[in-house]
Amino acid sequence: MAAWEFETLQLHAGQEQADPATGARAVPIYATSSYVFDSAAQAAALFAGEAEGNQYGRMHNPTVEALVARLVALEAGRAGLALSSGQAAATACLLTLARPGARLVVSKELFGGTFSLLNKLLAPWGCEICAVPPTPEAMAAALSPETVAVWVETIANPSGTVPDLPALAEVCHRHAVPLVVDNTWGGGGYLCQPLLLGADLVVHSATKWIGGHGTLIGGVIVEAGRFDWACGKFPAFTARDGRGRSYLSRAGELAFTLRARDLGLFTMGMTLSPFAAFLALQGLETLSLRMQRSCDTALALARWLNQHPAVKRILYPGLPSHPSHAVAQRTLRHGFGAVLSFETHDAAAAQRLVERLRLISHLANIGDAKSVVILPWSTTHASLSDPAKLAAGVTPELVRLSVGLESLRDLQADLAQALAL
Ligand SMILES: Cc1ncc(COP(=O)(O)O)c(C=O)c1O
């Protein structure tokens, strides 16, 4: 399977043979909360984590595991887990790494929900949050002996900033810090595979391009299996339980995934439903085709909007004028993302635009097959202070457009009528 290319993996990884019980070619939706044990000894071994198998639906489901296996393959990782939302994936990831007193070094250009998680949960719990520009220099300067994670987005939401992942990974590993990449905008690995560029963990909102049709909420974490969790910064990984075992002694290089499953699924119950996993699997089958089409249309729209008199500024890393263009050419493949943001001349014009659009829907999502638009200042980033919003590249006149699969000409016509004075 490792030799298959991305387009083959997105169809076959996680289900290489037809369903053994029924011959079904599609991955069945295993709608069950529980599994009959073979014996008392097997039940005890499953509960002790000493046997492989399905113990209980909060932790185990074959439909969900097919999705996990497919995404692990697409992200070139070694292990992973699925959760009930992208937000749940970020929560499980950070709680697996952090502890009171730890420092988290994060990009100051992130999805607003990630800032909510950091500011409303991790900071009151006792973590120090250090938000800096996602450059190797700024992040290196922010690292301390207490730092347990560096967190960036492949393409920042909504500024379009693309961090230099290989350079960041080098800085992180010099200080024994894992690099975590929210690869949601990297489209399930099609545009970028951060684990191959040196990152240690990838987090996704499967709600976006993985599902791809605006029909589910889900999240995923994938682990590279390279980080040294015994480096001294992660005492929870080496702490012994009542049986004298630690996450590290039980799972070795994949200790992160074992602990994230223990906290995110077993303890906090942020479980993905098998139906949502099925929808995500369906979406993945056409991921490369959808991403390519949306990226090509987004680039054409960015070039067209760049000439439009009602548009003040475009934030799209595919344009040579974007500060991240050169890095994006090195770290992304196939295209520059399916989202472009642009500024109108004032906030009133931005509000008029989203209310006038007819084909493009005004709603809170990205990565749908249908094109969608939103004003991040008053919605996705509204919980941030005005200076924090501006630091994240969010202004009152900024419009975020997630480009779907419609015809370029129809999208241009809709934008043109909505931008007309
Ligand atoms: C970059 C990024 N990460 C995470 C999330 C959160 O995902 P979810 O809505 O599935 O919880 C989003 C949602 O918009 C996002 O854009």
pLDDT band at 375 (very low <50, low <70, confident <90, very high): very high
130 strand-pairing partners: 105
The pLDDT value recorded for residue 21 is 87
Compute, in angstroms, the gap from residue 351 CA to the centroid of ligand 1. Answer: 23
**Model pLDDT for residues 178-237, shown as the tens digit of each residue:** 999 999 999 999 999 999 999 999 999 999 999 999 999 999 999 999 999 999 999 999
pLDDT of residue 2: 58
Q: Name the residue among 295, 274, 282, 271 with its Cα closest to residue 367.
A: 295
Q: Is 184 in the pocket of ligand 1 (CB under 6 A)?
A: yes
- Measured from the Cα of 110, ligand 1's closest atom is 1
Ligand 1, atom 10: nearest CA belongs to which residue? 86
The pLDDT of residue 392 is: 82
- Judged against a pLDDT cut of 80, whether residue 292 lies above it is answered with yes
Tell me which amino acid residue 264 is: G
pLDDT classification of 16: cutoffs 50, 70, 90: confident
Ligand 1 probe mutation, 84, 85, 93, 208, most atoms within 8 A of CB: 208
Q: If DSSP states are collapsed to H, E and C, what string results for the chain? A: CCCCCHHHHHHHCCCCCCCCCCCCCCCCCCCCCCCCCCCHHHHHHHHCCCCCCCCCCCCCCHHHHHHHHHHHHHCCCCEEEEECCHHHHHHHHHHHHCCCCCEEEEECCCCHHHHHHHHHHHHHHCCEEEEECCCHHHHHHHCCCCEEEEEEECCCCCCCCCCCHHHHHHHHHHCCCCEEEECHHHCCCCCCCHHHHCCCEEEEECCCCCCCCCCCCCEEEEECCCCCCCCCCCHHHHCCCCCCCCHHHHHHHHHHHHHHHHHHHHHCCCCCCHHHHHHHHHHHCCHHHHHHHHHHHHHHHHHHHHCCCCEEEEECCCCCCCCCHHHHHHHCCCCCCCEEEEEECCHHHHHHHHHHCCCCEECCCCCCCCCEEECHHHCCCCCCCHHHHHHCCCCCCEEEEECCCCCHHHHHHHHHHHHCC
Ligand 1 centre to CA of 93 (Å) is 14
Probe residue for ligand 1, chosen from 152, 184, 270, 365 as the CB with the greatest number of ligand atoms within 8 Å: 184
The better pLDDT of the pair 288, 381 is held by 288
Rg (the chain; Cα; Å): 22
Percent of the chain with pLDDT over 70: 100
Candidates 302, 308, 366; CA nearest to 335 is: 302
Given a cut of 80, is residue 283 above it in pLDDT? yes
- Position in ligand 1 atom list of the atom nearest CA 366: 14
85 CB within 6 A, ligand 1: yes
CB atoms within 10 A of CB 31: 12
Looking at beta carbons, which pairs linking 42-48 to residues 24 or more positions away fall under 8 Å? 48/243
20-24, 36-40, 128-132, 253-257: range with lowest mean pLDDT: 20-24
**How many A from CA of 257 to the centre of ligand 1?**
20
Confidence class for position 393, pLDDT limits 50, 70, 90: confident
Rounded CA separation 230/215 (Å): 40
Distance of CA 372 from the midpoint of ligand 1 (Å): 15
What are the tens digits of pLDDT across the range 113-159?
999 999 999 999 999 999 999 999 999 999 999 999 999 999 998 88
Amino acid identity of residue 367, one-letter, is G
Report the C-alpha gap between 408 and 265 in whole angstroms: 42
**Domain architecture of the chain: domains with CATH:** 6-283 (3.40.640.10), 287-419 (3.90.1150.10)
**344 in contact with ligand 1, CB cutoff 6 A:** no
The rounded Å distance from CA 157 to ligand 1 centre is 9
284 lines ligand 1 (CB under 6 A): no
The CA 111 to ligand 1 mean position distance, Å, reads 7
Q: What is the pLDDT of residue 90?
A: 98
Could you give the CA distance from residue 165 to residue 403 in angstroms, rounded to a whole number?
25
* Stronger pLDDT, 389 or 88, i.e. the higher one: 88
The pLDDT of residue 383 is: 86
User: pLDDT tens digits, residue range 137-149?
Assistant: 999 999 999 999 9
- The whole-number pLDDT of residue 1 equals 54
Calculate ∠ Cα 266-270-273, nearest 5°.
Answer: 105
Q: What is the pTM of this model?
A: 0.96
**Cα of 218 from ligand 1 centre, angstroms:** 9
Q: How many residues does the chain have?
A: 421
CA of 48 to the centre of ligand 1 (A): 34
> How much is the mean pLDDT over the chain?
96
Is the pLDDT score of 421 beyond 80? no
Name the residue at shortest CA distance from atom 12 of ligand 1.
Answer: 205
- Ligand 1: centre distance to CA 47 (Å): 33
